[in-house]
Structure 1
Amino acid sequence: MNTDYVIAFLASTAGAATPLVLASSGELVAERSGVLNLGLEGIMLVGAVAGFTAALHTGSLGIGMLAALLAGAAMALVFAFLVLTLQTNQVATGLALTLFGIGLSAFIGRDLVGQTIAPLPALSFPILSDLPFVGPLLFRFDAVVYGSLLLVALVAWVLGRTRLGLQIRAVGEAPHSAHAIGMSVTGLRYGTVLFGGAMSGLAGAYLSLALTPMWVEGMTAGRGWIALAQVVFATWKPRGLLLGAYLFGGVTVLQFHGQGLGIAVPSQFLSMLPYLATIVVLVIICRDPKTILLNKPMSLGRNFRAD
């Protein structure tokens, strides 16, 4: 295994981890406010097809990203209206949203299969990008990869150091108490759910505009579910999201590099690796109830109705 292969593997891991970082960061904020959105898979697919469609017809990847953000937020708005205003069950509504997103994305993208666009270009930093080993490993990614790292830092800062973050955490822990002191529980939850949807839409667009610059039906391949698992893996802490995303991203990339490494393992087993790793990690974490309950919002998944 030479240096070029190691660089390629690590760089591919960063790319594979980026949509997971985006989607799980948005979901973490929503869950810290007490809302569990199981519709990430469907939202990511709608974001992927919306972003690809907009970029294909306008020739602008920026407009494609914006369209994905808006499409993800629109899907999240439907979810928020159902669970926050109409008080439907969060789990059932999230599952229904995933099924709806899978069908809607397939319908919208039925005439887009096989078409391609130029992928999101990598940034180039003078001198730094040309450094041996470090250059291609750290300074030759596209803007979304770097933006995802900044997003995690921003989420950590907002939740841990700002008044808004304190309010989000208060609503997630004790919504009735937060309401009693004048906080808008429903308003805050609407905001966090829309933010989570927008980030999931952007994560989907990264798949169709950067990783594989084309539209393929069902191209998320379960990444929405992995993003949900990552929030638990991180025990609802932003800093744990990066570790989880890059771990799962590395396992995902391994299935493509396995044959190149001469690993005599059936391709079907290699395709199972990301999901197998997800299950193993969650089983290990959940063995200790104290670990899983340490930062879990007390009102997660519970509807709130002002008395």
Structure 2
Amino acid sequence: MKNPGGPTDDRGALTGEVAPPISWQAPVAYWVVAALTVLVFALGAPTGSETTFSLATSKDFFQLAPLTVPAGPVTIGLGVLVAALAGYATYAAVRRVKVGVWVPVIVGIAFLLAFLVWSGADKGNAIAVPNMLTQGLVFAVPLAFGAMAGLVCERSGIINIAIEGQLLAGAFLAAVVATLVSNPYAGLLAAPLAGAAVAAVLAWFAITYRVDQIIVGVVLNVLVTGLTSFLFSTVLKENSSTLNSPPRLPVIEIPLLSQIPIVGPMLFRQTILVYILFVTIAVLQVMLFRSRWGLRMRAVGEHPKAADTVGIKVNRTRWRNTILGGAIAGLGGASFTIALGLAFGKEMTAGRGFIALAAMILGRWSPRGALLAALLFGLAEALRGTLSIVGSPIPAQFLSMLPYLATIFAVAGLVGRVRAPAAEGIPYTK
């Protein structure tokens, strides 16, 4: 039966197709952001207050003067901008028109700027924008690697809940090997091996024995957490100078590019691990959607029976991609230790593996989208340190919650209707 309210063709006749349901998640989220921006930040800013932003570092080509803005008018303007975008998203939802990714990006940037202006109003310290952006990218590195690991596995049909354990194993082995060899690059080579080992156990149970993949992933997280905590307490703690004092990866400055104001320190004044991340994202984006390997992987994750029919070895493909995903996650684990020159600590990943899963979902199983989502969560964590230095009126406990609140808000309010690979989590048997 034709739907009276369904879509029509060019002549205005009913097509008989049922109109898709209206999704109100994104519009409601944008209206909430607009209300917070106006009611809390704009009206809460002290009258006549100003906020100062520092825009340059000492190594830049030229020095940008600090930018001082009036807190009240700027936050009101940003609130009006978010409200306008919320209205546009509401109109698009009613019309069942898909909005571009630029809408949530602009909403997020406007909200972040309003939050910074309100937090730094009439504070003695300037908000160092280059440092905040650089730290945001550093914090996003393990999340992006973890999201890539989940993406490679889930595109093949394997749910990788064990990203947390793979990150932790990579951080542990990177610290130990780098300390023993007195070379951080040795730890960088060892970290993927630890992640791949955890992934091999996941593949063994999930693919060979067809055990529930979510249960296996949770158990592996507990196992790796317990094992690394035991080794830390019994071995590393007693021999910290010989086993748990890893050297730090050196910062590599790309000539000329690293001296560009604001973005130069963020993108071109980093360790080799950050540059490896850029290459990994680019390669996966091309290989996933423009290569035979990516086509086969997506076929196995969407319709394994059809893939098997045309000669693709389904379980072998899943084995390989699961181990590859674990190696990528292990590489991300190295960012907790040798990338920062920090000793390994118990449970030092602190749930970042689960945030990486959220970044993968928010990025809609796309390398480029997952990177943007990881940057969002990384900036939320960098914001915590920036606000504590500035002297924000927000309690320290709330600042510690910022990365996790950003994760919940993004997944619940901005993801909308997404579809995972159809064969995800389903064991394949002929």
CA RMSD of aligned residues (A): 1.5
Higher relative contact order (CA 8 A, sep 6+): 1
1:281 to 2:413 alignment:
no
Which of 153, 157, 161 matches 1:30? 153
CA distance in 2, matches of 1:35, 1:204: 21
CA distance in 2, matches of 1:215, 1:253: 21
Q: Aligned residue for 1:259?
A: 388
CA distance in 1, matches of 2:187, 2:365: 30
1:16 to 2:135 alignment:
no
TM-score, normalised to structure 2, is 0.68
Q: Aligned residue for 1:118?
A: 247
Q: Aligned residue for 2:97?
A: none
Q: Aligned residue for 2:427?
A: 303
Q: Could you say what secondary structure the match of 2:426 adopts?
A: coil
Q: Could you say what secondary structure the match of 2:229 adopts?
A: helix
Q: Aligned residue for 1:43?
A: 166
Q: Residues 240-255 of structure 1: matches in 2 within 5 Å?
A: 240-255=369-384
Letter in 1 for 2:134: A
Q: Aligned residue for 1:62?
A: 185
Q: Aligned residue for 2:418?
A: 292
CA distance in 1, matches of 2:261, 2:411: 38
Letter in 1 for 2:372: L
Q: Is the 8 A contact 2:182 2:247 kept in 1?
A: no
Output one character per residue of 1:244-286: Cα deviation in whole Å (capped at 9) or x when no partner. Answer: 0110000011112221122122212111111111111111245
TM-score, normalised to structure 1, is 0.94
Q: Could you say what secondary structure the match of 1:211 adopts?
A: coil
Q: Aligned residue for 1:171?
A: 300
Q: Is the 8 A contact 1:24 1:241 kept in 2?
A: yes
Q: Residues 205-220 of structure 1: matches in 2 within 5 Å?
A: 205-211=334-340, 213-220=342-349
Q: Aligned residue for 1:7?
A: 130
Letter in 1 for 2:207: L
Q: Is the 8 A contact 2:185 2:249 kept in 1?
A: no
Higher helix share: 1
Letter in 1 for 2:313: S
Q: How many residues align?
A: 301
CA distance in 2, matches of 1:278, 1:212: 27
CA distance in 2, matches of 1:190, 1:30: 9
CA distance in 1, matches of 2:261, 2:297: 44
Q: Aligned residue for 1:90?
A: 213
Unaligned runs of 5+ in 2: 1-52, 57-127
Q: Is the 8 A contact 1:68 1:201 kept in 2?
A: yes
Q: Could you say what secondary structure the match of 1:209 adopts?
A: coil
Q: How far 1:132 moved relative to its partner?
A: 4.5
Q: Aligned residue for 1:230?
A: 359
Letter in 2 for 1:298: A
Q: Is the 8 A contact 1:44 1:201 kept in 2?
A: yes
Q: Is the 8 A contact 1:46 1:104 kept in 2?
A: no
CA distance in 2, matches of 1:156, 1:69: 20
Output one character per residue of 1:24-76: Cα deviation in whole Å (capped at 9) or x when no partner. Answer: 11210111111101011111111111110000001121211121111110110
Output one character per residue of 1:61-92: Cα deviation in whole Å (capped at 9) or x when no partner. Answer: 12111211111101100110000001100010
Q: How far 1:236 moved relative to its partner?
A: 1.0
CA distance in 2, matches of 1:167, 1:157: 14
Following TM superposition, where does structure 1 have runs of at least 4 consecutive aligned residues deviating by more than 4 angstroms? Answer: 131-134
